[in-house]
Amino acid sequence: SAVFYQNEEEKQLAQAYIDKLNASGKYDKPIATTLEPLGVFYVAEAYHQDYYPGHLNQPYVARVSVPKVEKFTKAHPELLKEGYRRDK
């Protein structure tokens, strides 16, 4: 995974959080997420937007994405985007 930053402040914030997670002892291995400059970003077409909530029964979403979102929801409910919890 990667975090794409727009400026040095965002890069430092992301790195500080990764460092905090690594120091927490919660994970067996270091965080593998890399920090990358954003570069050019193109907004996808409308039918690609908010894909997850509308496709919970699509096989890939159901088998791969849903378990990851549920795990994330339990660990960090305050960070989850509205509409991504199945219990709402």
- 4-56: per-residue pLDDT in tens? 999 999 999 999 999 999 999 999 999 999 999 999 999 999 988 888 888 99
pLDDT computed for residue 67 by the predictor: 94
19/5 Cα distance (integer angstroms)? 16
Q: Kindly list the distances between the CA atom of residue 20 and the CA atoms of 13, 24, 27, 36, 55, in Å, as whole numbers in the listed order.
A: 11, 6, 11, 19, 34
pLDDT exceeds 80 at position 3:
yes
> Is the pLDDT confidence value at 80 over 80?
no
- Write the CA distances from 53 to 17, 28, 39, 88, integer angstroms: 27, 31, 28, 11
- pLDDT of res. 87: 53
pLDDT band at 88; cut points 50, 70, 90: very low
